[in-house]
Structure 1
Amino acid sequence: MCCPINGFVLKKWPLTFNNKVDKKALSSQYEENTGTVSKNYADLEGIEKVWQEILCLSHVNDHQSFYECGGDSLALMKLGYKVSDYFNVELAPSDLFGELNLGTLKKIIANGGKQKINTDNDFGVSIEATVAQRNLFIQNKLNPKIPFPHSYLTFQVNGNLDLQCLEDALGEVIDTHEGLRTRFQMEKGKVFLKTVIKENCPIIEVSCETDDLNSELHKLSKSFDYSKVPLIRLTFIRLSNNKKYLHFEMPHIISDGESLKIIVQQVIRVYGGYKLSVQKQFRTFLKLAEIYRGSNQYKLDEEFWIMQLKKFDGFQRESIKAKSEDRFRGTHVVLNLKSSLAESVINFSEANKISKYKIFTLSLAILINRVYGESSVAIMSPVSNRFERSMADVVGLLSNVIPLFFNINPDQNIKCWIKDSFLHIDRSLKHQKYPFENIIKAWTSSDNKLDSLMKFFLGYHIHDEKYLLEKTELILHQPVRYYEDMPLSLAITDTGERFILRVSSNRHSLSSDQLNNVAQEYLSILGLITGRDLDLNLKMFDLISSDISLV
C-alpha cells in the first residue's frame, strides 16, 4: 500500500483558458504549499504522443533524430511549448541543437531539464535574451544559411556620397546604441546578449555586372553569424547602368521595423555634422517590460487575450507542410497604389476620421474571406511596443505582435461591420503590450495547432519618401524579397507621397501567378470599400460577392 508523503488542500483547480486543468500551475501550487520541488517523473509515454503529433508519425523510434523524422525549426518550437505545458520542463537550446531524439528527450524530462546558469563573463554587459530573441536564435542555428527574418531599407542615391564620412557616421551611431554592439551566446542552455565596448562597420562596396537590383540584392543577402558584431551591414551598390543604391540590412533578432528607420535617420544627421545625445538602451526597455509583467495592467491584458482566443475557432484549412529547406522560400509582388486609389484611401480616411492602417487591415480580412473561405479571421499585426516616450529612439527588437480577430457574416450591414471592426482594433491596441509568445503558448496549450492561428500578417510602416545627405538625395526603394514563412503576408509602406504594397507568400502556398491575382484582388477590395457610400444599406454579401477573379 502506497501512502502520500505530502499533501495540501486545493481550494480551486487551476484551469487553462479552455477550462482544462493547468498542469503547470498545479505543479507550482504543490511546490509552494509543500516546500518541495517535484521531479517530473510523469507518464513519459505521453511525450511519445506529442512527438508523433508534431512530426505526423504513425510510430516512434527512440533513436531516430528529430530532424531525420522531418522536424524543422517551427516544429521544434511547437515541441518546446508542448513539453513545457505537459511536463513543466523547459528545453534548453543546447538540448535542441544536438542530436535530439525521443530517448534523449525522455531523459531530459525525467531529470527536470533545468540547470543553474553561470552568467559571469568578461565580455562587457550580459543580459538574458527575450523569448522572441531566443526563438530567433534557435531558428538561426537550425537554418544558418537562410537570411530570414531580416530588416531592410534600400535607397536610390542621386548624387555623390563621401563613403568614408558615411562610414564614420554609421560608426558613431553604432557607438551610441548597445543593441548594435551586441552578439548572442548560449551558456548552459540559455541565450545571452553580450555587449562589446566598440565595433567598426566598414561599408561594403559592390560593382554589379547587371542592372537588375532585385537579383543583385538576392545574391548579396547573407545570413549573420549571431556570435559576431556588429549585426548590421551597409552596402553601396553600383549597377551596370551606373545607378547607385544604399542597402541597410540587419537580422530581426536585434531590430524591428522602427529600429532600422531610427538608424538611417541618425546616420544622416551625423553625416550632416549633428552630434548624437546619449540614448536610452535596449536593457532599459527590458527593465520596463519586467515592471509591466508584475503590474495589474498585465493581468487585464492577459484576461483580454484569453477571452479573444476563446472566441476564435482557428483556421480550418491546413497549411501545406514544406520541407525544412523550402520553408522560407517566398514569392513576392511589389507595386505602388495608383494615384486614384491612393486618393480614395486618403479621402475615406479623412471623411470617416479613421486611420489608414485600419482600412488596409479590414481589406485584408475581406480578402482572406474571399480567397480562403474563412468566416472567422485572425490577422497578425506588429505594433511598435515603444510604450514609453523615452523608448522612441531605442534600437532593438522591441516590437510585439497582436492577433486581430474578425467575423464576416454575409448578411451583416457593411457600415455596421466596419464600425464594429474598428472598435475591436481599438480595444486590441489598448492591450498591445501583452507578449505574443504568451498568446501563442495559451493557444497551443489547448491542443490547437500553431498554424491554425498564424497564417496571415499585415504590417503598416511609415517612412519618409526621401532624405538629403547634404546635396545628395536618398530616395526610398522597395525591392522584391525572396524569403517568407507565412501563407500570406502584406506590408504597406506609407511615405506621405505614395503607398507601396508588398504581398508575400511562402512558395509552397501560392505561386507567383496566384500571388499576382491576390494582390490585384486586394487592390480591388480597397477600391470597393473606400469608394462606397457607407450610408447605403449594403450588406457584406454585396462586397464579398463582387465580380473579382479569385485565386
Structure 2
Amino acid sequence: EGGRAPRNPAEEILCGLFADNLGLASVGIDDNFFHRGGHSLRATKLTSRIRDAFGVRLGVREIFQHPTVARLAELIARGGGDEERPALVAAERPELLPLSSAQQRLWFLDQLEGPSPTYNIPLAVRLTGALDVEALRRALVDVVGRHESLRTSFPSEAGTPHQAIRPLAATDLALPVTPVTEESLPQVLAGLSGTTFDLSTDLPIRADLLELSPEKHVLLVVMHHIASDGWSNGPLLRDLATAYTARGAGAAPDWAPLPVQYADYTLWQRSLLTTDEERQAAYWRQQLAELPEEATLPADRPRPAVASYRGATHQVTAPASTHAALTGLARETGTTLFMVAQAAVATLLARCGAGTDVPIGSPVAGRTDQALDDLVGFFVNTLVLRTDVGGDPTFREVLGRVRETDLSAWAHQDLPFDRLVEVLNPERSASRHPLFQVMLTVGDTAVGAPGLG
C-alpha cells in the first residue's frame, strides 16, 4: 500500500469514510478498499456515505473499478456513476400503511401455511454477573419503542394487510424468568424459539430470561422475520446495551433519534419501484432466460411432494491457512472472498452433475441507504447469481465470469425476489425453491453481544 496522505479536501473526506467503514484508524489515498478488509456489503454502505457527502451516486461496481481514495476522488470530480435515486426521508403516512414487498411475501406464506416457526429468528445471549432484571425488561421496552418495526402487527381489511404500528403508550413487553439447568437449557431454548406468532395481533418480538444461577442467565429474544433480519442483530444489541446502562442508572436512554423508520422505507421502496422496476425486471429477464429448473447436489432419495423444512446441519472447519489462501486469491484477481466461494461452489455442483449453468441464491443486506444502517427491520433481499462453468475454463476464468455476473446483479438488487419470481413465472413446485436450490452466504451476520451494565 502506498500510504500517501490526502492531497485535497475531497480525498481527506474519502479517507475518513474508508477508515470509518473498515474500522481502521486511518487509510492512505492508495490503499485498496478490498485489500484492507472491504467486501460487497461494506462497499454498498460506502456508496451510501459517499452519496451523502458529495451528492453523487456511485454503485458497487464503481468501488470495484476505483478501489482507492485517489481513483474514487477522480471519478467523483467527473460527476460520479449511477443515476440519482429518490431520497429516503421520513414521509407522510397514508391512513392504511402498506407492507414492503418482503413483508408481503411472508404475510402471504403465513396465510397460506398457517402460523409456523420457520421464519422465527431466535437470538440467545449468555449474561454473566449481577443482573438487574427490571432494568433489562425496561431496556427491551425502550428498544421496541425506538424501532417501530418491533411494535407493528399486520391485520387485514378485505383480504389486504396493512402495517398497524402500536403507539408507545400501549406498548409493553414481558420478561418472564424461568429457572433452567445446563442440561435442560437446549430443550427449553428450542421450545421457546419454536413458539409461533399471530401476525395479525401479536408484537413480532418476545423475550425470555433463563436463569442458570443468580449470576448466570441466558437472554432469549425471538423475532419474526417479517420485522427483522440477520443484519438487524447489530443495532438491536447495541441499542439494548445503551438502554440497559441508562435504566440501571435510573434514567431513560439518551440516544440520537433514528432518521427514518421502517414505514418510511416501505413508502420509499414503492416510489423507487414505480420509477425503476421495469428497467431492473428487464435486466433479470435477460440475465435468467432459460434458467435450468433445478441445479443442486445429487440426492439419494426423491424429494417429498411438499418440502418439510426438516433439514440437517453439517459443519466443517477450514484451517486458517486455507482462508488466507482464498483471501489472497481474491486480492490477486480483484474479486472478493464471496466471489471465490461462489466460483468454488458452482464448480463443485457442476462436477457433481448439476450441469454447467448453475444458479446460486445469495442474500444481500438491502440497506442501500445510510439511513437504514441502524434500523431493525426486514430489508434483506435475495439475488440469483447465474454461474457459467461451461467450456472447460480454468478456475480463474470461472472467477472472472463470477465477478462480472455479481457486479451486474448488485447494480440491480432493488427488485424484490418475490417480484422477480412473478416476472419470470418459473414452473412452480411445492417440493423445491423457485429459481435456485442452493444458497450461499459468506460473512458472519451475527455480532457479539455488547456488555450489559
Of residues 137-146 and 198-207 in structure 1, the stretch that sits farther from structure 2 once superposed is 137-146
C-alpha displacement of 1:384:
1.6
Structure 2: how far apart are the matches of 1:334 and 1:161?
A: 34
Trace 1:335-346 onto structure 2 (pairs within 5 A): 336-346=317-327
Q: Deviations over 1:433-486 (max 9, x none)?
A: 112122101222x65667451311123444475343256xxxxxxxxxxxxxxx
Equivalent residue, structure 2, for 1:138: 108
1:214 Cα deviation after fit: 4.0
Correspondence for 1:402 among 361, 368, 383: 383
2:174 maps to which residue?
A: 202
Distance 2:257 2:413 in 1: 28
Map residues 467-478 of structure 1 onto 2, 5 A cutoff: 467-470=449-452
Aligned match of 1:381: 362
Distance 2:317 2:184 in 1: 19
Matched with 1:165 is 135
Higher relative contact order (CA 8 A, sep 6+): 2
Q: How many angstroms apart in 2 are the aligned matches of 1:235 and 1:335?
A: 31
Q: Name the structure 2 match of 1:501.
A: none
Pair 1:241–1:409, CA change in 2 (3 A) = farther
Structure 2 distance, partners of 1:365, 1:165, is 50
Q: Which blocks of at least 5 consecutive residues in structure 2 are unaligned? A: 1-93, 247-252
Q: Secondary structure at the match of 2:441?
A: strand
Q: Which amino acid aligns with 1:438?
A: R
Does 2:203 align with 1:223?
no
Residues 150-549 of structure 1 aligned to structure 2 (within 5 Å): 150-198=120-168, 199-211=171-183, 213-221=185-193, 222-238=195-211, 244-273=217-246, 274-279=253-258, 280-295=260-275, 297-315=276-294, 320-322=302-304, 327-334=308-315, 336-409=317-390, 411-444=392-425, 447=427, 451=433, 453-463=435-445, 466-470=448-452
1:259, CA displacement in angstroms? 2.2
Equivalent position amino acid for 1:287 in 2: L
Q: What SS class does the counterpart of residue 413 from structure 2 fall into?
A: coil
Residue 413 of structure 1: how far off its partner (Å): 1.8
Deviation at 1:175, TM superposition (A): 0.8
| Letter aligned with residue 406 of structure 2 | I
Map of 1:5-84 to 2, 5 A cutoff?
A: none
- The DSSP-based 3-state class of the residue aligned with 1:420 is helix
CA distance in 2, matches of 1:359, 1:241: 47
Q: In structure 2, the residue corresponding to 1:225 is in which secondary structure?
A: coil
Counterparts of 1:165 and 1:334, CA distance in 2? 38
Name the % identity.
20
| Contact 1:204-1:236 at 8 Å conserved across structures | yes
Name the CA shift for 1:337/1:156 in 2 (closer, same or farther; >3 Å).
farther
Contact 1:146 1:223 in 2 (8 A): yes
The alignment partner of 1:268 has SS state of: helix
**CA shift for structure 1 position 335:** 5.3
> Separation in 2 of the partners of 1:374 and 1:126?
48
The separation in 1 between residues aligned to 2:315 and 2:174, in whole angstroms, is 30
Aligned residues: 345
> Which residue identity does 1:220 align to in structure 2?
L
Kept in 2: contact 1:151–1:260 (CA 8 A): no
Superposed counterparts of 1:75-94, under 5 Å: none
What is aligned with 1:538? none
Asked if the contact 1:152/1:260 (under 8 Å) is kept, the reply is no
Identify which range, 162-171 or 361-370, moves more after superposition: 361-370
Q: Distance in 2 between matches of 1:151 and 1:267?
A: 17
Q: Between 379-388 and 312-321, report the one with greater CA deviation.
A: 312-321
Amino acid at match of 1:215: Q
Deviations 1:368-406 (A, max 9, x none): 324453321111111121222112223222221111100
Does the C-alpha gap of structure 1 residues 426 and 329 become closer, same or farther in structure 2, counting only changes over 3 Å?
same
* Amino acid in structure 2 at the alignment position of 1:385: G
Q: State the 1:329 CA deviation.
A: 2.0
Q: Please tell me whether the aligned partners of residues 125 and 196 of structure 1 are also in contact (alpha carbons under 8 angstroms).
A: no
Residue 414 to residue 459, structure 1, CA distance change in 2 (3 Å):
closer
Deviation, 1:308, is 1.0
Distance 2:341 2:98 in 1: 37
**Is the CA contact (8 Å cut-off) linking 2:357 and 2:390 kept in structure 1?**
no
The offset of 1:183, in angstroms, is 0.6
Corresponding residue for 2:39?
none
Higher strand share: 1
The aligned amino acid for 1:225 is D
* Partner SS for 2:117: coil
- Tell me how far apart the structure 2 counterparts of residues 159 and 334 of structure 1 sit (CA, whole Å): 32
Q: Which amino acid aligns with 1:422?
A: R
For residue 294 of structure 1, give the secondary structure of its aligned residue in structure 2: helix
* 1:163–1:359 distance in 2 versus 1, CA, 3 Å: farther
SS in 2 for 1:466: coil
8 Å Cα contact 2:126/2:216 also seen in 1: yes
- TM-score for the superposition, normalised by structure 2: 0.68
The one-letter code sitting in structure 2 at the alignment partner of 1:435 is P
DSSP-derived class of the 2:450 partner: strand
SS of the equivalent of 1:327 reads coil
**1:245 aligns to what SS in structure 2?**
strand
Alpha-carbon shift at residue 423 of structure 1 (Å) = 1.7
Distance of 1:146 and 1:323 partners within structure 2:
19
Query: Which structure 1 residue ranges, 5 or more long, are not aligned?
Result: 1-123, 472-551
Give the counterpart letter for 2:129 in structure 1.
G
Letter in 1 for 2:348: L
Q: Following the alignment from structure 1 to structure 2, what is the Cα–Cα distance between the partners of residues 206 and 354? A: 48
